[in-house]
């Protein structure tokens, strides 16, 4: 089988599973076997709700700025920052005034995100 | 424990495990439990060697341009492109004339990359 179907683009993440995580937080989700990638756009000043899940998560700030809430800390992040969120640690994001785009990586994939829907699952 | 040690930056990937994958391909590797991230700089026109491993891999082209060799295909990639490489599929990269930077994601982590060294392991 051609490998071409495995190639996508962050700026036009077509072909993923769309999910509204919260008002102003929109995700395009691509599931593999070992990991799941989610390209998330957060509107200016929008914020998710604190949640956790057993799967490890990594995040990469692609554009803009935000506050990463993780554990009991609030850590400002800017373009190029990346971080690991161990499984079970409560977390969320709050976008800065210009909004932001984030690449989230779940390993293993989150079963809740394999189907279209709303919310953070769990 | 503070979450601050889980935060890094793609432009200055300090704190990772350094690895020379091939001449002109230099990696900073960050290992988690579910996934391992590797920030790879490829010098202009440098190329890795075709290899495979059982772990799933994802790649994100952060800067520059390259040819992604995957399976029996050669697919040009540009900034913002990302792709999945199923476990066991032979692959490598060949940078364009301006070089490139790639974020590689291994899920699960590759045991060979948990220690400093040279080469693609396996």
To probe the interface with B, which of A53, A61, A84, A111 has the most B CB atoms within 10 Å?
Answer: A84
Cβ <8 Å between B7 and A108: no
The token duo for B36 is: 């391992």
Beta bridge partners of B84: B58
Q: Which of B5, B16, B10, B42 is nearest to B115 (CA)?
A: B16
List of chain B residues whose C-beta atoms are within 8 Å of the C-beta of residue A32: 56, 58, 84, 86, 107
Phi-psi region of B17 (alpha: psi -120 to 50; beta: other; left: phi over 0): beta
Tell me if residue A113 falls in helix, strand or coil. Answer: helix
Q: Which of A88, A90, A27 is nearest to A62 (CA)?
A: A27
> What percent of chain A shows pLDDT beyond 70?
98
Q: pLDDT of B5-55, one tens digit each?
A: 999 999 999 889 999 999 999 999 999 999 999 999 999 999 999 999 999
Mean per-residue pLDDT of chain A: 96
Q: pLDDT of A63-115, one tens digit each?
A: 999 999 999 999 999 999 999 999 999 999 999 999 999 999 999 999 999 99
The token duo for A42 is: 């957060």
Cβ <8 Å between A35 and B58: yes
């Amino acid at each position: 089988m051609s490998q071409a179907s495995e190639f996508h683009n962050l700026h036009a993440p077509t072909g993923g599973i769309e999910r509204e995580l919260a008002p102003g937080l929109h995700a395009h989700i691509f599931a593999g076997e070992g990991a799941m990638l989610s390209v998330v756009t957060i509107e200016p000043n929008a914020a998710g709700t604190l949640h956790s899940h057993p799967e490890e998560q990594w995040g990469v700030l692609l554009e803009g700025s935000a506050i990463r809430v993780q554990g009991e800390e609030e850590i400002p992040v800017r373009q190029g920052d990346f971080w690991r969120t161990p499984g079970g640690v409560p977390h969320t994001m709050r976008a800065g005034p210009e909004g932001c785009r984030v690449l989230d990586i779940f390993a293993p994939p989150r079963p809740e995100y394999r189907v279209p829907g709303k919310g953070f699952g769990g």
